[in-house]
Each structure stands twice: as structure tokens, then as C-alpha cells.
Structure 1
Amino acid sequence: MVEMWNIAIQTHADEEAEVYAVPQFKINTEEKWGIGWKYSLKCLNCGFISPVVKLYKEITTDERDRKAAATNINLQAGLLDMPLGNSRTRLLLADLDIPPPAESGMSKLSSYVNSKTTDLNNESMRTKMEEVKNVNRRRGASNPNVINVAWSVP
């Protein structure tokens, strides 16, 4: 938000020949992207309109669509460990006077985050299995692919 105001003030000072003592800005446009927002400001004194500024960071996904907002991905990642689903989250946000994201967008991001989390878990388990097999090989196990749950102590 601070960056948006700084960009608006700096751009206004650079582009406007007539400098006012204090520019008076109001929100010109606002666009919701999940729980992230994009804004532009307008000077009431001269009509200057600032560039649109994203108040969120974008994350490149595998989809061809628009880049996802990091806040939306983080929300879905946080919901993975909670009994609160997308429908209840939308109700909670609405009760807090926060415009909830579209149900379809939340569902799409939920599927994306679930698949990435599954891939991450599978890769982690694959790495751990290789570590166990390496330990078995070093200990001279007859079959390193067999995972001994407990070793007998001589």
C-alpha cells in the first residue's frame, strides 16, 4: 500500500507541470483478484490518474491463465491443514466484511495447491526411501530394498 502511494505521488510530481502544494488523491479504480487487490489513484486537483498497482505478489503457475496472487495460494495452502473448507472460508471472510474470492477461483487454486503438495510429499518420501536403502547397503543387508523396521543389536 505504501509503495502504491509512493508511486502515485512520484509519478504525479514527474508528469504534472503545475505542482500543487499537496495532491489530493482518491481511489480511482479497484480490482479484486481473490483476496488480493489492484488500485489506481486519481488526483482531485488536476485529474491525474496513477498507474494501476498490484497490492500482491504474483506466482507463476502451470496454468496459461493470469498469474496467481501469492495471498490466494497461501490461503489455500493454509486451508489444507484445517477443517475449514472453501465454502466456510468465504462465509468467514464475508462476516469480516472482506469481499470473498469467487468459489470457482478458490476451487481451481485448491486443486493446484493440492497437486503441488502431493508432488512435494511424494518427492520427500522418495528421498527418504533412498536414504534408508543407502543405510541398508552400508550395513550390508542382503536385500537393500527391504526396509528393516528394527535392527537387532548384537
Structure 2
Amino acid sequence: MVEMWNIAIQTHADEEAEVCAVPQFKINTEEKWGIGWKYSLKCLNCGYISPVVKLYKEITTGKRGRKAAAVNINLQAGLLDMPLGKSRTRLLQADLDIPPPAESGMSKLSNYVSSKTTDLNNESMRTKVEEVKNDKICGFG
């Protein structure tokens, strides 16, 4: 958020320095991406509109379409180990006045995170089995 304000103030100063000495910003656009957001600001004095800034980091999933927001993947990874499911998470967010992400998007990310977690667990187990096989003390080597 601080980076967004700094970008808006700096670009406003570079482009509108002679026209507007004291900017007064308000939110111009906001776009929700799961639980991440993108914003742009507008100066009420001169009409300057800042570039749109993502308030989340993106992660390449290898699938078509927009990149996933890291915060959305982290939410799904956290939900894997909790009895709280997608529906209850959405209800909790709505009760806290946080616009919940779409259930279909949460399902897609949940499937992605589950498959990556399974792959990670399989690789870890494969490594441990190899270590046991190569260990002379256990008599397997």
C-alpha cells in the first residue's frame, strides 16, 4: 500500500508539478483478485490518475490465464491443514466485511495447491526411502 502511494505521489510530481502543487488523492479504481487487490488513485485537484498497482505478488502456476496471487495460494495452503473449509472461510470473510473470493476460484486454487503438496510429499518420501536404503547401519545397503 505504501508503495502504491509513493508511486502515485512521485508520478504525479513528475507529470503535474506545474499544474498541481498540493495533490489530494482518492481511490479511483479497485479490482479484487481473490483476497488480493489492485488500485489506482486520482488527484481531486487536477484529475491526474495514477497507474494501477497490484497490492499482491504474483505466482506463475503454469496454467493459462492470469497469474495467481500469492496471498490466494497461501490461503489455500493454510486451509489444507484446517477443518475450516472453503465455504466456512467465505462466510467468515463476509462476516468480517471482507469481500470473499469466488468459490470456483477457490476450488481451482485448492486443487492446484493439493496437487503441489502431494508432489512435494511424494518427493520427500522418495528422498527418505533412498537415504534409508543407502544407510549401512540399517543393513539395507
Which range, TM-score by smaller chain?
Answer: over 0.9
Q: Looking at CA atoms only, which structure, 1 or 2, has the larger radius of gyration?
A: 1
Other structure's SS at 2:28 match: strand
Corresponding pairs, count: 133
Residue 36 of structure 1 contacts residue 56 of structure 1 at CA under 8 Å; is this kept in 2?
A: yes
Alpha-carbon distance between aligned partners in 1 of 2:56 and 2:103, rounded to the nearest angstrom: 20
Deviation at 1:16, TM superposition (A): 1.1
Alpha-carbon distance between aligned partners in 1 of 2:132 and 2:109, rounded to the nearest angstrom: 35
Which of structure 1's runs of 4+ aligned residues deviate more than 6 A? Answer: none
Deviation at 1:62, TM superposition (A): 1.8
Deviation at 1:93, TM superposition (A): 0.3
* Higher normalized contact order (CA 8 Å, seq sep 6+, divided by chain length): 2
Q: Which runs of 5+ in 1 are unaligned?
A: 134-154
TM-score by length of 1: 0.85
Deviation at 1:68, TM superposition (A): 0.3
Other structure's SS at 1:27 match: strand
Deviation at 1:18, TM superposition (A): 2.1
Query: What per-residue deviation string (whole Å, max 9, x for no partner) do you get for residues 3-28 of structure 1?
Result: 00000000000111425332000000
Residue 19 of structure 2 contacts residue 46 of structure 2 at CA under 8 Å; is this kept in 1?
A: no
TM-score by length of 2: 0.92
When the two chains are superposed, the root-mean-square deviation of aligned CA atoms in Å is 0.8
Residue 13 of structure 1 contacts residue 19 of structure 1 at CA under 8 Å; is this kept in 2?
A: no
Residue 59 of structure 1 contacts residue 69 of structure 1 at CA under 8 Å; is this kept in 2?
A: yes
